[in-house]
């Protein structure tokens, strides 16, 4: 009988075999559904005792036969078996489930590396055969399972994962990371955003709950791990890491610049949800107002920086008041007069001590300081504002105490002879000050209790006394600051009437050229366009037949039917007068060191027109 059954099974087709197995499974299921709990327990006990009696060879042969049968299963039978297995597991108690998990872990621990690799390979093959619906369902079940795990289970799972990864080889790690990168490249922007947001929430929850010791341990582990990776990486790996870092910084900058711009997918989602609506009139007015300020006269207006005495756009200037103590202390440290050889008139021109006591000893431009009414009025001490451009502000907001000599103590500071100076300086600061000296440099603000009610209180603000500090140890001022000897100054009132042509004639170097197009005519106003460009001659200019030094005349060509009054007005713009040129040259020789070696040719100037 057995031989006949074996012959029939050896000759049956795959469809007949599948049909026979399904019929047997159904009959077995019907039979087992009718058995009582006692019969079910008795059957399992007999099966267990039978398997306990088999030899290791018989046990391995039985498992091999089961694996061979399952490998030959079609996807439908595989899905049916998984559903039945899931149903049986759901019927188990928590104790039975825990016992099964322990047995499974014990078997996994005892398996050889070849068996482990074979099991993972088959698992990957099964998952590659999954349909999208089955794949999504499996991931959702896995996420739900991980959401329900306790903190102890979560930490145990992560520890096991770390232990497994610590044992993997370099090739295995590279293969795992390359597979992960390939998966990440295939995900859509929406999926990537969902994944990153979920990771942020999870990490924030974990870090908010961790203790200071756990945080210190985690950061130390990460630092040691990164250091070990950097020490063992090759040149190509280092270049790749730096390139990924640059790309990451670029993505962050792009995200910051486009943080107010919604993507096409976000707009579509908002539109489908009915959240997009027409902009209100108030919002339109606000947008147009901001646009008009940025591109109109207000946004394009200019003002003077009190630190460098240069014109800057109003949008590139920050306005401070005398209540901003931090910026005032930095100005007191960086904008002092470093050279006693400067002209007294120049120092007096940039001396603003009469405006506010905090400006004593500083070189500031009055054009960048605004105040209302009498500056000595103690009832209005907050009416003084001063402009600082962004370039100077960047330097002034930098820490300046670290630039002082390391063991300097301010005059009048009580010194404790037993105080130890801490020499552990910051590794990233070559001019770091000792911690004890930092404490010695701190002053209490005497105006905190006065609420700014008196300018006398502002005058009592204690700024560092730099009289005993060498000049070379002072904090550096901004590059174009007045205190860095970039003086602009101011011409006398009589020289303000000089024309553009007269100023160019008296300049040592001309770096700017101009083209002026003037239009006029009867019943029309004089209109002109001025174009300024660099006067550095390029190759085309060197090929011109006419040399600039051969043309001894300053010519103005007028095109159009100008009236007599208009001709007089245009000539006033381009006058070259003997007395004005002589006054400008004498002023430059008296106050500008670059003109010290310039000789004034009186005969050449005498050839110019003497009168207007």
Does the structure show a pLDDT above 80 at 364? yes
| Judgement on whether residues 431 and 508 belong to the same structural domain of the protein | no
| Judgement on whether residues 511 and 457 belong to the same structural domain of the protein | no
Bridge partners of residue 303, in order along the sequence? 312
Does the structure show a pLDDT above 70 at 374? no
Measure the N-to-C terminal CA separation of the chain; round to a whole number of Å: 137
What per-residue confidence (pLDDT) applies to 235?
86
Q: How far is residue 370's CA from residue 366's CA, in Å, rounded to a whole number?
A: 8
Domain that holds residue 590: 493-606
Residue 465 belongs to some domain of the structure: yes
What per-residue confidence (pLDDT) applies to 304?
92
Consecutive H or E run containing 57: helix 56-71
Residue 517 belongs to some domain of the structure: yes
Residue 48 belongs to some domain of the structure: no
Over residues 34-54, mean pLDDT = 84
| Judgement on whether residues 403 and 536 belong to the same structural domain of the protein | no
What per-residue confidence (pLDDT) applies to 475?
78
Please provide the average confidence, as pLDDT, over all residues in the chain: 75
Higher pLDDT, 151 or 449: 151
| Judgement on whether residues 245 and 313 belong to the same structural domain of the protein | no
Residue 133 belongs to some domain of the structure: no
| Judgement on whether residues 461 and 498 belong to the same structural domain of the protein | no
Highest mean pLDDT range out of 197-206, 376-385, 466-475? Answer: 197-206
Question: Which two three-digit tokens encode residue 332?
Answer: 């007191």
Q: What pLDDT, in 10s, does the model give residues 537-567?
A: 655 555 555 554 555 445 666 767 778 888 8
Q: How far is residue 460's CA from residue 524's CA, in Å, rounded to a whole number?
A: 61
**What CA–CA distances, in Å, run from 104 to 45, 97, 98, 99, 155?**
19, 10, 10, 9, 20
Over residues 446-457, mean pLDDT = 40
Q: Which of 327-336, 446-455, 478-487, 602-611 has the lowest mean pLDDT?
A: 446-455
Question: Which two three-digit tokens encode residue 480?
Answer: 């174009």
Residue 342 belongs to some domain of the structure: yes
| Judgement on whether residues 323 and 394 belong to the same structural domain of the protein | yes
Q: What pLDDT, in 10s, does the model give residues 97-143?
A: 888 888 888 888 888 878 888 888 878 877 877 788 888 888 888 88
* SS3 readout for 3-34: HHHHHHHHHCCHHHHHHHHHHHHHHHHHHHHH
Number of domains the chain contains: 4
| Judgement on whether residues 475 and 352 belong to the same structural domain of the protein | yes
Bridge partners of residue 362, in order along the sequence? 336
Q: What pLDDT, in 10s, does the model give residues 477-519?
A: 898 999 888 887 788 888 888 888 888 888 887 777 777 777 7
Q: What pLDDT, in 10s, does the model give residues 562-612?
A: 788 888 888 777 888 888 889 999 988 888 888 888 888 888 888 887 765
Consecutive H or E run containing 573: helix 564-573
Residues 6+ apart with CB under 8 A from 25: none
What per-residue confidence (pLDDT) applies to 309?
92
| Judgement on whether residues 446 and 353 belong to the same structural domain of the protein | yes
Reported for 448-455, long-range contacts at CB under 8 A and 24+ positions apart, including other chains, are 452/323, 452/381, 452/382, 453/381, 454/378, 454/381, 455/356, 455/357, 455/376, 455/378, 455/381
Consecutive H or E run containing 39: helix 37-52
Q: What pLDDT, in 10s, does the model give residues 284-318?
A: 888 888 887 777 776 678 889 999 999 998 888 99
In 343-433 the beta strands, taken as DSSP E runs, fall at 369-371, 384-389
What per-residue confidence (pLDDT) applies to 611?
64
Confidence of residue 442 (pLDDT cuts 50, 70, 90): very low
Q: Is there a contact between 577 and 607 (Cβ–Cβ < 8 Å)?
A: no
Question: Which two three-digit tokens encode residue 602?
Answer: 């009186």
Higher pLDDT, 190 or 403: 190
What per-residue confidence (pLDDT) applies to 306?
93
Q: How far is residue 342's CA from residue 489's CA, in Å, rounded to a whole number?
A: 13
Q: How far is residue 499's CA from residue 572's CA, in Å, rounded to a whole number?
A: 8
Residues 6+ apart with CB under 8 A from 395: 334, 476, 477, 478, 479
Q: Is there a contact between 506 and 579 (Cβ–Cβ < 8 Å)?
A: no
Q: What pLDDT, in 10s, does the model give residues 215-274?
A: 888 888 888 888 888 888 888 888 888 888 888 888 877 777 666 666 677 777 766 666
Over residues 408-415, mean pLDDT = 39
Q: How far is residue 556's CA from residue 526's CA, in Å, rounded to a whole number?
A: 15
Does the structure show a pLDDT above 90 at 388? yes
Q: How far is residue 197's CA from residue 261's CA, in Å, rounded to a whole number?
A: 19
Q: Which burial class, exposed, middle or buried, applies to 18 when counting CB atoms under 10 A from its CB (0-12, 13-18, 19+)?
A: middle
Residue 112 belongs to some domain of the structure: no
Q: What pLDDT, in 10s, does the model give residues 342-354?
A: 778 888 889 888 8
Whether pTM > 0.85 for this model: the answer is no
Does the structure show a pLDDT above 90 at 386? yes
Residue 273 belongs to some domain of the structure: no
Question: Which two three-digit tokens encode residue 152?
Answer: 């102890």
Last residue of a domain, one of 484, 518, 550: 484
Confidence of residue 392 (pLDDT cuts 50, 70, 90): very high
Bridge partners of residue 518, in order along the sequence? 528
Last residue of a domain, one of 256, 285, 318: 256
Look at residues 523, 526, 570, 574 and name the one whose alpha carbon lies nearest to residue 553.
574
In 338-442 the beta strands, taken as DSSP E runs, fall at 369-371, 384-389
Q: Is there a contact between 501 and 574 (Cβ–Cβ < 8 Å)?
A: yes
| Judgement on whether residues 378 and 360 belong to the same structural domain of the protein | yes
What per-residue confidence (pLDDT) applies to 437?
37
What per-residue confidence (pLDDT) applies to 81?
80
| Judgement on whether residues 465 and 521 belong to the same structural domain of the protein | no
Q: What pLDDT, in 10s, does the model give residues 147-204?
A: 777 878 878 888 888 888 888 888 888 888 888 888 888 888 888 888 888 888 878 8
Higher pLDDT, 307 or 446: 307
Question: Which two three-digit tokens encode residue 52?
Answer: 């306990």
Q: What pairing do the DSSP bridges indicate for beta strands 369-371 and 317-321?
A: unpaired
Residue 330 belongs to some domain of the structure: yes
| Judgement on whether residues 436 and 533 belong to the same structural domain of the protein | no
| Judgement on whether residues 469 and 537 belong to the same structural domain of the protein | no
Last residue of a domain, one of 456, 484, 512: 484
């Amino acid at each position: 009988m057995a031989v006949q059954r074996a012959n029939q099974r050896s000759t049956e087709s795959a469809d007949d075999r599948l049909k026979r197995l399904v019929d047997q499974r159904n009959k077995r299921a019907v039979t087992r559904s009718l058995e009582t709990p006692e019969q079910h327990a008795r059957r399992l006990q007999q099966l267990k005792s039978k398997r306990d009696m088999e030899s290791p060879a018989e046990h391995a042969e039985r498992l091999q036969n089961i694996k061979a049968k399952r490998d030959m299963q079609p996807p439908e039978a595989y899905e049916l078996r998984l559903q039945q297995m899931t149903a049986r597991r759901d019927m188990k108690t928590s104790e039975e489930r825990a016992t099964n998990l322990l047995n499974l872990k014990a078997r996994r621990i005892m398996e050889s590396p070849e068996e482990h690799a074979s099991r993972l390979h088959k698992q990957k093959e099964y998952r590659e055969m999954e349909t999208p619906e089955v794949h999504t369902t499996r991931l959702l079940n896995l996420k739900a399972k991980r959401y329900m795990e306790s903190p102890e289970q979560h930490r145990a799972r992560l520890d096991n994962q770390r232990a497994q990864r610590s044992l993997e080889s370099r090739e295995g790690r590279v293969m795992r990371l390359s597979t992960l990168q390939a998966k990440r490249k295939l995900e859509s922007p929406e999926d990537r955003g969902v994944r990153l947001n979920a990771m942020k929430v999870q990490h924030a929850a974990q870090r908010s709950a961790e203790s200071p010791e756990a945080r210190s341990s985690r950061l130390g582990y990460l630092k040691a791990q990164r250091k070990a990776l950097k020490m063992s990486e090759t040149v190509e790996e280092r270049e790749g890491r730096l390139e990924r870092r640059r790309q990451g910084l670029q993505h962050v900058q792009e995200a910051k610049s486009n943080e107010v711009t919604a993507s096409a997918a976000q707009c579509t989602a908002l539109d489908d949800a009915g959240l997009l609506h027409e902009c209100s009139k108030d919002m339109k007015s606000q947008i147009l107002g901001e646009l008009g300020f940025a591109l109109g006269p207000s946004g394009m207006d200019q003002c003077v920086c009190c630190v460098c005495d240069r014109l800057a756009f109003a949008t590139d200037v920050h306005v401070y008041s005398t209540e901003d103590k931090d910026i005032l202390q930095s100005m007191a440290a960086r904008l002092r007069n470093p050279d006693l050889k400067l002209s007294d008139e120049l120092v007096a021109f940039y001396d603003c001590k009469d405006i506010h006591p905090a400006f004593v000893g500083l070189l500031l431009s009055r054009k960048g300081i605004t105040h209302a009414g009498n500056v000595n009025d103690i009832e209005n001490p907050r009416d003084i504002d001063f402009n600082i451009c962004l370039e100077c502000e960047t330097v002034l907001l930098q820490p300046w105490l670290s630039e002082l000599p390391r063991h300097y103590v301010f005059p009048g500071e009580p010194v404790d002879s037993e105080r130890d100076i801490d020499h552990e300086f910051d590794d990233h600061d070559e001019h770091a000050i000792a911690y004890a000296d930092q404490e010695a440099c701190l002053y209490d603000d005497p105006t905190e209790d006065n609420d700014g009610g008196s300018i006398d209180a502002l005058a009592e603000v204690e700024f560092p006394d730099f009289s005993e500090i060498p000049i070379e140890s002072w904090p550096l001022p901004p590059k174009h600051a007045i205190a860095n000897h970039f003086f602009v100054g101011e011409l006398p009132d009589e020289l303000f009437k000089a024309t553009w042509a007269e100023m160019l004639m008296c300049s040592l170097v001309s770096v700017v050229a101009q083209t002026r197009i003037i239009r006029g005519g009867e019943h029309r106003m004089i209109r002109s366009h001025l174009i300024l460009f660099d006067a550095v001659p390029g190759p085309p200019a060197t090929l011109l037949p006419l040399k600039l030094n051969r043309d001894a005349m300053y010519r103005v060509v007028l095109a159009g039917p100008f009236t007599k009054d208009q001709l007089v007005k245009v000539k006033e713009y381009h006058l070259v007068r003997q007395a004005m040129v002589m006054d400008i040259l004498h002023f430059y020789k008296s106050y500008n060191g670059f003109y010290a070696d310039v000789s004034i040719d009186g005969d050449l100037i005498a050839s110019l027109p003497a009168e207007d």
